[in-house]
Structure 1
Amino acid sequence: MIKIGILKEGKVPVDKRVPIIPSQAKIALDKFSDLEIVAQTSDIRCFEDADYANEGVKIVQEVDDCDILLGVKEVPIKNLIANKTYLFFSHTIKEQPYNRELLREILKKNIRLIDYELLTDQSNTRIVAFGRYAGIVGAYNGILTYGKRYNLFRLRPAHECFDLEDLKTEYQKVKLPKIKIAVTGGGRVSKGAMEVLTGMNIRKVTPAEFLTNLYDEPVYAQLNSRDYNKPIAGGEFNRSEFYEHPENYESDFLKFAQVADVLIAGAFWDPEAPVLFKREDIIRPDFKIRVIADITCDIEGSIPSTKRSSTIDDPIYDYNPSDDEVEAPLKDEGNITVMAVDNLPCELPRDASTDFGNEMVNNVLPHLLGDDEQEVIKRAVIAENGRLTERFQYLQNYVDGN
């Protein structure tokens, strides 16, 4: 018998999401005969204890007797239980300094850490993620911010909507002038963002049309890496080479910044890759973008105006490019208004958890509870037996504080 415990989220600010919703727990219990699932009692989840109990999941105070523990965000260091298998988003693989102590404690306590972000199929495609809902809420927040900045319309914040269907009822309030919106990325995040823009009846155009045509209505274009990066040495963009050697490329995004009013940034960014644009570019008179919804939220990463993350309760701030400083939102017409909430799916926790849980039950549990023939779990293990696994040896210096 394998016993799985669904953890109460302990990270602040509060996260209402769950890795598996009650009805999915019941599906898993029916599917795997040697499985028991319990849920740690919680007063913050988007699904109540009673919802789990009604599906045959026992509600418990402590989870010390579980073999596998499922969370969403990082587990607080004081709550880590030695010699267990944990699954959560650890935010350690980019050597994030704020989680160094977390990884040290995981190694010290002989914990097997499986990171959701690393769970992929054999073609290296992620099999479980909240990306779609990050895109949905990020694009919605971007349009909400534009409406607020120019006093055009007022939308309810996403977190005040019961679920996605409720959120969609706000779309009819959106009345945009003939602006251009650039969406970067080709994955789940950008697809989620485009769902919203299309739902708001904003027309999609090609990158080439976006650059050259004038429209009597709002439009958006989806930009992939090839659209805004070019080889330093000249010649054609090569996708494989770009991902293997991003240092050989430079940004070609400025041509889009000269015609776009809004940027919705949903592309994964490698620190070795070119930044989208620089502070010096923003202060050029032909830089047109005035609202940025940075879904990726890489602090001082590819977008220089993302100086810090924002929160669900306080989602926007202004960036003053002349002084390179953050200011109060909607303060000055020359500033850029930035939305950089770093936990966007939390604004629609019920829908986001339902999608994520489906992927957990269908794509992850069969490998986690089976023989892992395809090494789906093995590839996602960062730490085991008190050591970093072979694939993550590069994190040793980070752990050592070097």
Structure 2
Amino acid sequence: MKIGIIREGKNPPDKRVPFTPKQLKAIQEDYADQITFQVQSSDFRSFSDQEFIDEGIEVVDDVSDCDVLFGVKEVPIDQLLDEKTYFFFSHTIKKQKYNRKLLQAVLEKNIRLIDYEVLKDEGGNRVVAFGRWAGIVGAYNAFWTYGKKTDLFEIKRAYECADLKELHSELAKVQLPPVKIILTGSGRVGNGAKEVLNSLKIREVSVHEFLHLYFDEPVYVKLSSADYNRRKSDGGFDKEEFYAFPERYESHFQKFSEAGEILISGAYWDPDAPRLFELKDIAGEDFQLSVIADVSCDVGGSIPTTITSSTITDPVYDVDRQTGEKIPAFGSQTSISVMAIDNLPCELPREASQEFGIQLMNWVIPALLDDNSGMLERATIARDGDLTIEFIYLNDFVNDYD
């Protein structure tokens, strides 16, 4: 099997790689008679072409001879090769309109698309993800944004840090008033964000304490879905029902928006689930949030102020509380500053790639050599010009050419 590592084509370019040079060397040695690699030449990866060459990996301009192609972000339509197997984050499973044409092209080109986001073990747990790094960088950026907005302190951008160690050194410069911080998300993203909060030695408090007590130090609360969603009929909450029938629930997040000043949002959002709040709510006198770091970055999703994604080079925009419109970052003291970078792990690309590659080595490489891998089958969105049974619900979405 010849496996290609494609050059990232999405703009702005992503610096991450699915595997590091040393990881590819190790795989080739472990599966010497089964797998070979080619890496498509790139000027902007966090690992240079020479680093791959130094590990004995062939670097080429054309990977069309490869059977299987690994990338990170969505592949531009004009770069898709017919009848190949691709691994990348397609961002299509929630019917994201901006990638409708990509999925249409995948079907037209008879591509087998395996999406990292739906690679799961027998227990339904994701096996490969950049979530921890998104959480770390997203939380760090929340405090960078707060420092810029309040002029209380100044720290480097995350991408200016050589590694995680330097990022933690920068956090030592953060001087916070007794601000209340809200964190959502209990998975990799939420736990990554907690690493930053713990590095800052910010105390975690209960929901009751957060809502009803005053503190002379910064504090944070970590919310679960049960804390801000309730059944429309009787105000109750049942976890299994919520995940199976989210449309039966409504948000009661308002009390948290009245108490907190910073929101770090890392919770997975189902399009049928209620939003945390509505855009009209931010005009209310009691709506206290002034910095929102939407780590999950679902445009038009759970956080209505995420009007668009932002970029590493232009990380923050503000939203006017009265009009709900996007305005320049830090353009008004009363506006809400939104950080919604959609490729946060790219700010620490080498370490993020290293951890991601380990997950692929443990789970995906062995599965590729298994003719009947259930894990790969369950994560296959399209094959031979058709959606698979698992993803047949995308049929109406993909057949809409408007």
- Considering the TM-score relative to the shorter chain, is it more than 0.5? yes
Task: Give the equivalent residue in structure 2 for 1:321.
Answer: 321
Q: CA deviation at 1:235?
A: 5.0
Task: Give the equivalent residue in structure 2 for 1:264.
Answer: 264
Q: CA deviation at 1:44?
A: 0.9
Provide, for residues 66-89 of structure 1, a one-character-per-residue CA deviation record: whole Å limited to 9, x for no partner.
110000111111111111111011
Q: CA deviation at 1:284?
A: 1.8
Task: Give the equivalent residue in structure 2 for 1:220.
Answer: 220
Task: Give the equivalent residue in structure 1 for 2:35.
Answer: 35
Tell me how far apart the structure 1 counterparts of residues 133 and 243 of structure 2 sit (CA, whole Å). 25
Task: Tell whether the 8 Å contact from 2:280 to 2:324 is kept in structure 1 after alignment.
Answer: no
Provide, for residues 310-338 of structure 1, a one-character-per-residue CA deviation record: whole Å limited to 9, x for no partner.
11111111111211211111122221111
Task: Tell whether the 8 Å contact from 1:305 to 1:321 is kept in structure 2 after alignment.
Answer: no
Secondary structure at the aligned position of 1:95 is classed as coil
Tell me how far apart the structure 2 counterparts of residues 209 and 32 of structure 1 sit (CA, whole Å). 55
Tell me how far apart the structure 1 counterparts of residues 61 and 319 of structure 2 sit (CA, whole Å). 45
Tell me how far apart the structure 1 counterparts of residues 301 and 236 of structure 2 sit (CA, whole Å). 25
Tell me how far apart the structure 2 counterparts of residues 28 and 335 of structure 1 sit (CA, whole Å). 51
Provide, for residues 317-361 of structure 1, a one-character-per-residue CA deviation record: whole Å limited to 9, x for no partner.
111121121111112222111111111111111111111111000
Task: Give the equivalent residue in structure 2 for 1:167.
Answer: 167
Alignment of 1:221-370 (within 5 A): 221-234=221-234, 236-370=236-370
Secondary structure at the aligned position of 1:258 is classed as helix
Tell me how far apart the structure 2 counterparts of residues 135 and 294 of structure 1 sit (CA, whole Å). 10
Q: CA deviation at 1:141?
A: 0.5
Moved more, 155-164 or 170-179: 155-164
The two structures have a TM-score, normalised by structure 1, of 0.97
Secondary structure at the aligned position of 1:37 is classed as strand
Q: CA deviation at 1:290?
A: 0.8
Letter in 1 for 2:299: I
Provide, for residues 246-280 of structure 1, a one-character-per-residue CA deviation record: whole Å limited to 9, x for no partner.
11111111111111110001111111111101123
Alignment of 1:139-154 (within 5 A): 139-154=139-154
Secondary structure at the aligned position of 1:170 is classed as helix
Tell me how far apart the structure 2 counterparts of residues 299 and 104 of structure 1 sit (CA, whole Å). 21
Letter in 2 for 1:31: D
Tell me how far apart the structure 1 counterparts of residues 308 and 109 of structure 2 sit (CA, whole Å). 32
**RMSD over aligned Cα atoms:** 1.3
Query: Any runs of at least 4 consecutive aligned residues in structure 1 with deviations exceeding 3 A, and if so which?
Result: none
Tell me how far apart the structure 2 counterparts of residues 76 and 283 of structure 1 sit (CA, whole Å). 39
Tell me how far apart the structure 1 counterparts of residues 75 and 30 of structure 2 sit (CA, whole Å). 28
Letter in 2 for 1:347: E
Q: How many residues align?
A: 400
Provide, for residues 131-160 of structure 1, a one-character-per-residue CA deviation record: whole Å limited to 9, x for no partner.
111111110000111111110011111111
Tell me how far apart the structure 1 counterparts of residues 206 and 54 of structure 2 sit (CA, whole Å). 49
Is 2:377 the partner of 1:378? yes
Tell me how far apart the structure 2 counterparts of residues 362 and 208 of structure 1 sit (CA, whole Å). 42
Tell me how far apart the structure 2 counterparts of residues 46 and 107 of structure 1 sit (CA, whole Å). 31
Task: Give the equivalent residue in structure 1 for 2:199.
Answer: 199
Is 2:52 the partner of 1:52? yes
Task: Give the equivalent residue in structure 2 for 1:388.
Answer: 387
Task: Give the equivalent residue in structure 2 for 1:104.
Answer: 104
Moved more, 357-366 or 282-291: 282-291
Secondary structure at the aligned position of 2:221 is classed as strand
Tell me how far apart the structure 2 counterparts of residues 194 and 79 of structure 1 sit (CA, whole Å). 38
Letter in 1 for 2:240: S
Provide, for residues 177-205 of structure 1, a one-character-per-residue CA deviation record: whole Å limited to 9, x for no partner.
00010001111111111101111111112
Secondary structure at the aligned position of 1:365 is classed as helix
